Amino acid sequence: MKLTLKIWRQKSADTKGRLETYNIDGIEEDMSFLEMLDVLNDKLVNEGTEPVEFDHDCREGICGSCSLMINGEPHGPDRKITTCQLHMRRFNDGDTIVIEPFRAKAFPIIKDLIVDRTAFDRIQQAGGYISVNTSGNTIDANSIPIEKDKADMSFNAATCIGCGACVAACKNASAMLFTSAKVSQFALLPQGEVEAHERVMNMVSQMDKEGFGNCTNTGACEIECPKGISLENIARMNREYLSASTAG
């Protein structure tokens, strides 16, 4: 398979970037997208050219660090996958593929295809936890009765891997889907009730401080999310925020 790759190259956040064109062949359809980039980088290194910088870690769709815009779509043309799970069989011989970093004010470019997503970490640090008294004899979590539907919804929200596809897909670069997933995974459980009001107020406040945009309910975030996080979480977070705002 022969391909033309148009890849965003940028040395740092303070320099201007541009799309550069690379021609590559010998790509097999069973390769993953990241394996294809590995082949390109091997070629560039052998030619004495600086390789393309991109993030990756687990290559199993767990960590979310392999976030790329591929032909204008976060993680590429497939659904409910990360970039590392995308295979070259989704492309045709002779295709031109445009590869860019996630675009958002709150995700500044570090280099080439790597962006700084620590804004997500700060949102989670603002309230994405529960306080449990571990002194003495603690109560086994399994002894607390939880309705199965709420447990399932909490688990589904907790599957968010924080890749940022929701932000990249949103025309406003909103982080509402990510933040609401982190709020929901505790809001649905009795263990999360103690800090419920403080949690949602702090996390939403931090989200706004980071410069993310507002949600307009177009639904692009849910469609592009590799874990299928539901828009229902945004509605739940809005209810939690209203409750916290009017409490006491």
Q: Which domains does the chain have, with CATH numbers?
A: 3-111 (3.10.20.30), 118-246 (1.10.1060.10)
Per-residue confidence band for 154, with pLDDT thresholds at 50, 70 and 90: very high
Judged by average pLDDT, the poorest of 27-36, 63-72, 133-142 is: 133-142
Report phi then psi at 69, rounded to 5: -90, 120
Contact 227, 162 (CB under 8 A): no
The predicted pLDDT at position 69 comes to 98
Phi, psi of 20 (to 5 degrees): -115, 145
Comparing CA positions, the residue from 227, 184, 190 lying closest to residue 74 is 227
| Confidence class for position 129, pLDDT limits 50, 70, 90 | confident
Lookup: tokens for 211: 């410069």
Q: Against a cut of 0.85, is the pTM above it?
A: yes
Q: Contacts for 221-225 with beta carbons within 8 Å, 24 or more apart? A: 221/165, 221/166, 221/167, 221/169, 221/170, 221/174, 221/176, 221/177, 222/166, 222/177, 223/79, 223/169, 224/73, 224/74, 224/75, 224/165, 224/166, 224/168, 224/169, 225/80, 225/160, 225/165, 225/166, 225/177
Share above pLDDT 70 across residues of the chain, in percent, rounded to a whole number = 95
Does residue 30 carry a pLDDT above 80? yes
For residues 78-85, average pLDDT: 96
pLDDT value at 248 more than 80: no
Q: What is the band of 199 on the pLDDT scale with cuts at 50, 70, 90?
A: very high
- With bands split at pLDDT 50, 70 and 90, how would you rate the model's confidence at 247? confident
